[in-house]
């Protein structure tokens, strides 16, 4: 099946970057400096001011286009369904935060109010998120442990243990809000890109394991004090297994039944998604049923089941955060702020793409910052969003944050009026509901073999993040994961495959000389491809590879030549009859004893001026002088994949190039990015040895230039230059 192929015909002059610049006029583009950007950023006119206000209050934007008749019904229905889920999750996740359940209802209420005005996402359901709750819980149990006296904080005086815990949780949330607000104001919302999918997957899997372990005590009906810090999970498991014999069978049986039922119904919901008008709200049913059963059979007194108990009815007065808690928990509040925002942003983005509107990362940071600060003042804990709840809000027809407000109202009703109905609810039921919802997170273990087959560094990051977060705790684990992830970027470019290229005969294409049978490698020319950016971590590697590729170390050659030159000069003096005893001693010294003292001089370019004849290192030297022959006359470095250079790389590169130039090898650099070439001037890369004329736009240009310069090898020149198909 031979098809007539199009011909590739090019005839132009050979360009170096210099001659190219001469022939082709470049537009002088004035690049903005940092100062210009700042100035522009600070310029203010009425339009900008209006836009800024609109950006700060996104509600103005969507309220104007709100279609009451079409959207309101959907929002109300969605708000009610989401509200039910939010109440359930609020109660359950407050156990993760080691707080009384009523504070979970606060978290489903207060942050929503401010997000309504400030948030750019129309679909996310603001409120508690299990991983965040757990991270707050780690701080709470560290500062107010169950089995030991609380940390030495003045604000704790005269408070009950629960009140102390609420103070810690709200202070951490306040601080988290400050961090988020600050990041939003500083416009650094882009930091979430550092949390790659792999990292987040490993991290959330570890969080699921933590959540599972933390809920075991409720499911088993055991009294296990919360433990925090590195290896906390091991100690917790140890404490659970020590008292496993005192398991409350009533709790355990009830939990298992609930888990099985909920699991099955959820699978059915998934399978018959298309046929069901709405998914069966099995969790709500189970809660109502167990509430009734527990009340009817007085589980609390008869089976000693731990129940939700007295709910705080209504709202409490706002509290000020504790500065001392700020100091104690600053290192933990920062990762909480990051994780909270990252989760909310990724969920918001998912739905913004689906429904084709834009969200603004920095405004989201501001919205969550303010919401958390506001919520914390009213004793709620860390708010973000949960994918499961947001999915309910969106799939049940929610169009805007009006649905969010309605769900908040539901939480308010329960707090103010219906809380007493939840009092007989066993805590083990909440624990079981939390555990059964971990399936989606735990299933991520499947990614390990997938990643291993495709990309090993990525798999290592996953496992490292997960193991780190499981063993060291979520905050340290996140730091470990981030460090590993950044390392992979460096690692991928640290040991790249350098290759020596060769011409594919009859074309202007160059490929790895080991890969192809029919190649053309002119004598005395080496083409070395640098396949990655050059920076501190790989500059030495490149220099070694380059020396390996050319087959000699130019510095060593240079020294040997300089030594030989010294000898030759002596020999010349000898011939001239000027030899003295002192001269002989000097000659002896130079070659043996003092050679290292003058070693710096040996690194200078060989000075051939004083010689009465033209020195050619390739010809035979006097028998007692040996200098290795250098067959290379041109070295071409392919810079096409060099996307940046740092200062270490520049220094190393400069030295390496100088060494080659000093032993008489012409160095050519080809396909260098225009922007990098510009930077090289700024970095003062050029001097007497290293000049701009060594830069060529393409490899073939440089090759033609080399062949032109070394025309003696006639056959080669013609072979390449006039290649025709």
State the nearest-atom distance from the C-beta of 691 to a second copy, in Å. 17
Specify whether the backbone of 521 is left (phi greater than 0), alpha (psi in -120 to 50) or beta: beta
Residue number with CB closer to a second copy (134 or 680): 680
Q: What's the rounded Cα separation, in Å, for the pair 140 and 166?
A: 8
User: In a 3-state reduction of DSSP, which class is residue 626?
Assistant: coil
By CB under 8 A, what part of segment 212-271 binds a second copy?
A: none
State the nearest-atom distance from the C-beta of 518 to a second copy, in Å. 7
* CB distance 252 to 219 below 8 Å: yes
Q: What is the DSSP letter of 697?
A: S
Using CB under 8 A, which of 160, 592, 623, 715 touches a second copy? 592
State the nearest-atom distance from the C-beta of 371 to a second copy, in Å. 25
Residue number with CB closer to a second copy (162 or 586): 586
State the nearest-atom distance from the C-beta of 305 to a second copy, in Å. 41
Which span sits near a second copy by CB under 8 A: 174-182, 319-327, 520-528, 591-599? 591-599
Instruction: For 670, list phi and psi in degrees, rounded to 5.
Output: -120, 155
Tokens of 235: 């100690």
Nearest alpha carbon to residue 207 among 136, 141, 139, 134: 134
Please compute, for residue 51, the number of CA atoms within 13 A of its CA located in the half-sphere on the CB side: 6
State the nearest-atom distance from the C-beta of 165 to a second copy, in Å. 27
Tokens of 245: 């014999």
State the nearest-atom distance from the C-beta of 11 to a second copy, in Å. 5
Which span sits near a second copy by CB under 8 A: 101-109, 464-472, 527-535, 609-617? 527-535
Which residues is 512 bridged to in the sheet?
A: 501
Q: What's the rounded Cα separation, in Å, for the pair 534 and 494?
A: 9
Residue number with CB closer to a second copy (453 or 609): 453
Residue number with CB closer to a second copy (351 or 374): 351
By CB under 8 A, what part of segment 274-333 binds a second copy?
A: none
State the nearest-atom distance from the C-beta of 135 to a second copy, in Å. 21
How many beta carbons lie within 10 A of that of residue 612, not counting itself?
5
By CB under 8 A, what part of segment 646-685 binds a second copy?
A: 646-648, 651, 671, 673-675, 682-684
* CB distance 452 to 459 below 8 Å: yes
State the nearest-atom distance from the C-beta of 640 to a second copy, in Å. 4
Residue number with CB closer to a second copy (545 or 559): 559
Tokens of 406: 């309605």
Using CB under 8 A, which of 302, 354, 439, 681 touches a second copy? 354
Q: What is the DSSP letter of 57?
A: -
State the nearest-atom distance from the C-beta of 458 to a second copy, in Å. 5
Residue number with CB closer to a second copy (27 or 44): 27
Residue number with CB closer to a second copy (95 or 702): 702
Tokens of 420: 């007493």
State the nearest-atom distance from the C-beta of 617 to a second copy, in Å. 19
Where would I find the H helices in 65-129? 68-96, 102-107, 110-118
Contact residues for 64 (Cβ-Cβ < 8 A; gap 6+):
none
Tokens of 319: 């509290």
Q: What's 450-473 look like in SS3? A: HHHHHCHHHHHHHHHHHHHHHHHC
Nearest alpha carbon to residue 610 among 569, 580, 579: 569
Using CB under 8 A, which of 543, 556, 567, 633 touches a second copy? 556
Q: What's the rounded Cα separation, in Å, for the pair 32 and 606?
A: 45
Binding of a second copy at residue 154 (CB under 8 A)? no
Contact residues for 330 (Cβ-Cβ < 8 A; gap 6+):
175
Q: How many residues belong to the site for a second copy (CB under 8 A)?
A: 101
* CB distance 374 to 388 below 8 Å: no
Angle at 40 between CA 36 and CA 43, to 5 degrees: 135
Residue number with CB closer to a second copy (148 or 724): 724
State the nearest-atom distance from the C-beta of 203 to a second copy, in Å. 14
By CB under 8 A, what part of segment 175-214 binds a second copy?
A: 193-194, 196-198
Residue number with CB closer to a second copy (56 or 489): 489
Using CB under 8 A, which of 45, 147, 356, 687 touches a second copy? 356
By CB under 8 A, what part of segment 464-523 binds a second copy?
A: 483, 485-490, 492-494, 496-497, 504, 506-509, 511-512, 514-518
Residue number with CB closer to a second copy (401 or 488): 488
State the nearest-atom distance from the C-beta of 193 to a second copy, in Å. 5
By CB under 8 A, what part of segment 593-652 binds a second copy?
A: 593, 596, 599, 640-644, 646-648, 651
By CB under 8 A, what part of segment 50-109 binds a second copy?
A: 70
By CB under 8 A, what part of segment 1-60 binds a second copy?
A: 5-15, 19-20, 24-27, 29
Residue number with CB closer to a second copy (277 or 610): 277
User: In a 3-state reduction of DSSP, which class is residue 369?
Assistant: helix
The site map against a second copy for 693-712 (x = CB under 8 A) is ----xx-xx--xx--x----
Residue number with CB closer to a second copy (323 or 486): 486
* CB distance 721 to 504 below 8 Å: no
Residue number with CB closer to a second copy (304 or 708): 708
The site map against a second copy for 437-456 (x = CB under 8 A) is --------------x--xx-
State the nearest-atom distance from the C-beta of 563 to a second copy, in Å. 11
Using CB under 8 A, which of 210, 379, 559, 662 touches a second copy? 559
The site map against a second copy for 530-549 (x = CB under 8 A) is -xxx-xxxx-xx--------
Kindly list the strands in the beta sheet with 666-670, ordered across the sheet, starting from the edge strand earlier in the chain. Answer: 510-512, 499-503, 525-529, 634-638, 666-670, 695-696
Exposure letters 556-582 (e unless 16+ CB within 10 A, then b): ebbbbbbbbbbbbebeeeeeeeeeeee
* CB distance 205 to 444 below 8 Å: yes
Specify whether the backbone of 506 is left (phi greater than 0), alpha (psi in -120 to 50) or beta: left
Residue number with CB closer to a second copy (517 or 619): 517
Residue number with CB closer to a second copy (413 or 677): 677
Residue number with CB closer to a second copy (277 or 612): 277
Instruction: For 525, list phi and psi in degrees, rounded to 5.
Output: -120, 135
Nearest alpha carbon to residue 397 among 174, 147, 76, 22: 76
Contact residues for 396 (Cβ-Cβ < 8 A; gap 6+):
74, 77, 78, 81, 82, 278
């Amino acid at each position: 099946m031979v098809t007539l192929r199009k011909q590739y015909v090019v005839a132009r002059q050979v360009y170096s970057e210099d001659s190219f610049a001469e022939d082709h006029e470049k537009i002088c583009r004035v690049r903005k400096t940092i100062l210009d950007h700042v100035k522009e950023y600070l310029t203010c006119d009425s339009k900008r001011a209006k836009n800024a206000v609109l950006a700060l209050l996104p509600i103005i934007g969507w309220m104007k286009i709100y279609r009451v008749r079409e959207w309101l019904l959907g929002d109300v229905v969605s708000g009610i369904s989401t509200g039910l889920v939010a109440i359930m999750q609020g109660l359950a996740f407050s156990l993760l935060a080691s707080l009384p359940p009523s504070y979970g209802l606060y978290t489903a209420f207060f942050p929503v109010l401010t997000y309504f005005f400030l948030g750019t996402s129309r679909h996310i359901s603001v409120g508690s998120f299990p991983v965040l709750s757990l991270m707050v819980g780690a701080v709470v149990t560290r500062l107010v442990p169950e089995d030991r006296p609380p940390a030495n904080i003045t604000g704790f005086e005269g408070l009950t243990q629960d009140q102390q815990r609420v103070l810690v949780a709200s202070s951490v949330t306040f601080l988290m809000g400050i961090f988020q607000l600050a990041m939003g104001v500083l416009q650094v919302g882009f930091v979430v890109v550092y949390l790659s999918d792999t990292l987040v997957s490993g991290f959330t899997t570890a969080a699921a394991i933590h959540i599972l372990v933390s809920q075991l005590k409720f499911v088993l009906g055991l009294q296990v004090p919360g433990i925090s810090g590195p290896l906390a999970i091991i100690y917790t498991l140890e404490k659970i297994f020590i008292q496993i014999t005192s398991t409350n069978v009533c709790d355990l049986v009830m939990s298992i039944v609930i888990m099985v039922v909920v699991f099955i119904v959820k699978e059915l919901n998934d399978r018959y998604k298309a046929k069901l008008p709405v998914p069966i709200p099995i969790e709500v049913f189970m809660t109502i049923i167990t509430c009734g059963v527990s009340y009817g059979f007085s589980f609390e007194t008869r089976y000693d089941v731990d129940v939700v108990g007295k709910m705080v009815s209504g709202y409490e007065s706002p509290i000020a955060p504790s500065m001392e808690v700020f100091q104690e928990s600053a290192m933990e509040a920062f990762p909480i702020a990051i994780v909270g925002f990252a989760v909310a942003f990724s969920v918001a983005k998912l739905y913004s793409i689906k429904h084709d509107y834009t969200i603004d990362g920095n405004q989201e940071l501001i919205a969550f910052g303010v919401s958390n600060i506001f919520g914390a003042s009213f004793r709620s804990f860390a708010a973000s969003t949960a994918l499961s709840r947001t999915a309910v809000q969106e799939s049940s027809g929610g169009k805007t944050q009006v649905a969010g407000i309605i769900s908040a109202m539901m939480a308010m009703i329960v707090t103010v009026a219906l809380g007493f109905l939840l009092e007989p609810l066993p805590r083990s039921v909440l624990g079981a509901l939390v555990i059964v919802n971990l399936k989606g997170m735990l299933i991520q273990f499947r990614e390990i073999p997938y990643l291993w087959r495709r990309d090993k560094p990525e798999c290592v990051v996953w496992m490292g993040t997960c193991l780190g977060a499981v063993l060291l705790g979520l905050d340290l684990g996140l730091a470990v994961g981030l460090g590993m992830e950044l390392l992979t970027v460096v690692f991928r470019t640290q040991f790249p495959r350098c290759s020596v290229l060769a011409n594919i005969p009859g074309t202007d294409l160059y490929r790895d000389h080991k890969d192809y049978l029919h190649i053309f490698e002119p004598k005395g020319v080496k083409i070395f491809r640098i396949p990655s950016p050059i920076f501190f971590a790989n500059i030495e590697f490149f220099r070694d590879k380059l020396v390996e590729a050319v087959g000699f170390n130019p510095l060593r050659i240079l020294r040997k030549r300089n030594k030989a030159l010294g000898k030759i000069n002596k020999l010349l003096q000898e011939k001239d009859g000027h030899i003295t005893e002192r001269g002989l001693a000097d000659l002896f010294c130079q070659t043996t004893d003092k050679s290292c003292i003058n070693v710096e001089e040996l690194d200078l370019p060989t000075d051939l001026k004083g010689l009465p004849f033209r020195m050619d290192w390739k010809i035979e030297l006097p028998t007692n002088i040996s200098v290795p022959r250098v067959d290379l006359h041109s070295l071409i470095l392919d810079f096409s994949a060099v996307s940046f250079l740092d200062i270490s790389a520049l220094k190393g590169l400069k030295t390496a190039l100088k060494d080659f130039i000093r032993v008489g090898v012409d160095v050519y650099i080809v396909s260098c990015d225009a922007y990098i070439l510009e930077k090289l001037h700024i970095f003062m890369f050029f001097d007497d040895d290293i000049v701009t004329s060594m830069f060529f736009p393409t490899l073939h240009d440089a090759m033609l230039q080399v062949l032109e310069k070394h025309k003696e090898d006639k056959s080669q020149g013609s072979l390449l230059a006039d290649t025709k198909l």
